[in-house]
Amino acid sequence: MSLTIQPNCTDNPEFGTIPVNTALDMILEAIHPSSNLETIPVQDCYGRVLAEDIHSTIMVPPFTNSAMDGYAIHHQDIPAAAEQLSKLTIIGTTVAGQAFQGKVNQGETVRIMTGAVMPEGTDSVIIQEHVETKNDTITIDSRHQSGQNVRQAGEDIKPGDCVLNKGRQCLPADAGIIASLGIPEIKVFSPLRVAVFSTGSEVCDFSQKATDSSQTTTIFDSNRYSLCAALKPYPVDIVDMGIIPDNPQHLKTAFLEASQNAELIITSGGVSVGEADYTKQVLAELGQIEFWTVAMKPGRPIAFGKINSALLFGLPGNPVAVMVTWCFLLKPALEKMLGITNAPVIPSFQARSLSHIRKRPGRTEYQRGILKPDGHGQWSVETTGKQGSGILTSMCKANAFIVLEHDHGSVKPGDMVNVQPFSGIF
Ligand code: AMP
Ligand code: MG
């Protein structure tokens, strides 16, 4: 008698799987940016996504002014010959917030402070350290340029300039620039409502610890906490739906409720082929859901599709698989839903591996690594140790993913590997 062995991820990794890039392309193709808009005060713009281009109606700076503390002169008073000196009479002082009354003639100068309007008849500023003062005169030499230390009106922004583009997730300097244009309010995309829940009868929240004294059959939920934290930098309203046990009726109710309250549903667990993995069955009944086996490790089984008008990502249950699928599939999808066009480019470069890494071609592997300078101007990387998809400490010890591409084989110490530092991701 012989047994029929079901293929699984440790047998033929290519069996029935789709490459990560194909999965990502299919996800992105199915997603359309949200179109709900709202108007907010400029001081709330950090992290929000612009729903329209920001144009200027004014010049920045609005008037020509001094960039330094010093003396405003006309450039023709700068001596032409190297050894020559010029003596100029100080006829007054001007400070920021005031305009000098009167015209400055050749042979004259005005003491000027940073930000003050350039007096009529002047076009250059000599910094105070470069002049010799005596009574009401200054002496300057020939080492100066026409127009130096002056900020021209409109040199940064001119009326009509498009300063920030639609789709930009605002950074701190953007708040400053919008305010500098005198714009009090901006149109942004409304926050996306995201429902998050964990599935699994063995999963409980740490707040339930008191009632589950033995902890011999249950584990504390980590996925919901990782996912909610990963969502924090985005303009989202999180609908935290807690933990749903492996019970078809409970799951059905939770998915329907999520689809009514959110535009994006993110769940973890229950999408593989275990006996209690009812999620697949319930999802198949409720919506247009596809169940993919993605050629990635960790993170193979994924459900993707729609329940009513809500988009759904059913992530695997293992905590590292959740993080990896978040980074490489969900995060780009969320950014597209939010209309973000300036998501930071994740740096990717080669580092010398200090570790031996076993790997078979046919799937992309995301090992967790510690990346550091090797002291010779290059980077080296070693794995964090145990790489099981349940070893969440591997994420916390790591500062980079070691990305071993689809066709890559095993790695020997000394081989170059691709790395993606976390600092570009989170
Ligand atoms: P599943 O995909 O439901 O078969 O889960 C795979 C593994 O991940 C199992 O060992 C689960 O106990 C574990 N797991 C599932 N959900 C969570 C969660 N929310 N937090 C921590 N571990 C989980
Ligand atoms: Mg489960």
| pLDDT score, position 211 | 60
| pLDDT score, position 216 | 82
Residue pair 258/195 in contact (Cβ under 8 Å)? The answer is yes
- Give ion ligand 2 contacts, CB < 5 A: 200, 269-270, 317
- Where does 153-275 show beta strands of DSSP type E? 162-164, 185-189, 192-199, 203-204, 219-220, 236-244, 264-268
CA 95 to chain centre: 41
| pLDDT score, position 10 | 46
Q: How far apart are CA 2 and CA 135, in angstroms?
A: 109
Q: How far apart are CA 193 and CA 7, in angstroms?
A: 38
- Substitution candidate for ligand 1 out of 224, 227, 318 with most atoms within 8 A of CB: 318
C-alpha 258 – ligand 2 centre gap (Å): 19
| pLDDT score, position 11 | 45
Q: Which atom of ligand 1 is nearest to the CA of 198?
A: 19
Q: Which atom of ligand 1 is nearest to the CA of 279?
A: 3
Cα dist. 368→127, 162, 334 in Å? Answer: 54, 42, 23
| pLDDT score, position 214 | 62
Q: How far apart are CA 281 and CA 287, in angstroms?
A: 11
C-alpha 300 – ligand 2 centre gap (Å): 14
| pLDDT score, position 213 | 61
Minimum-distance ligand to the CA of 325?
1
| pLDDT score, position 345 | 86
pLDDT tens per residue, range 32-57: 998 899 999 999 999 999 999 999 99
Pocket of ligand 1 (CB under 6 A): 198, 200, 202-203, 219, 221-223, 268-270, 272, 274, 277, 316-319
Q: How far apart are CA 242 and CA 271, in angstroms?
A: 18
Judge residue 233's burial from the number of C-beta atoms within 10 Å of its C-beta, 0-12 exposed, 13-18 middle, 19 or more buried. exposed
Please name the amino acid found at residue 107: G
Cβ neighbours, 10 Å, residue 155: 12
Token digits of residue 200: 């699994």
- Substitution candidate for ligand 1 out of 199, 219, 395 with most atoms within 8 A of CB: 219
CA 313 to chain centre: 21
Q: What is the DSSP letter of 69?
A: S
Cα dist. 149→40, 46, 76, 141, 270 in Å? Answer: 37, 33, 16, 16, 66
pTM of the model: 0.90
Cβ neighbours, 10 Å, residue 256: 16
C-alpha 180 – ligand 1 centre gap (Å): 50
Strand partners, 366: 403
Residues contacting 344, CB < 8 A, separation 6+: 424
Enumerate residue ranges in the chain where pLDDT < 50.
1-2, 4-5, 7, 9-13, 426
Minimum-distance ligand to the CA of 200?
2
Q: What are phi and psi of 211, to 5 degrees?
A: -90, -10
Cα dist. 18→86, 266, 277, 290 in Å? Answer: 77, 21, 21, 12
Helix (H) or strand (E) holding 252: helix 248-261
Q: How far apart are CA 178 and CA 319, in angstroms?
A: 41
| pLDDT score, position 276 | 77
| pLDDT score, position 280 | 84
* φ/ψ bin of 42: left (φ > 0), alpha (ψ from -120 to 50), beta (otherwise): alpha
| pLDDT score, position 273 | 78
Residue pair 328/318 in contact (Cβ under 8 Å)? The answer is no
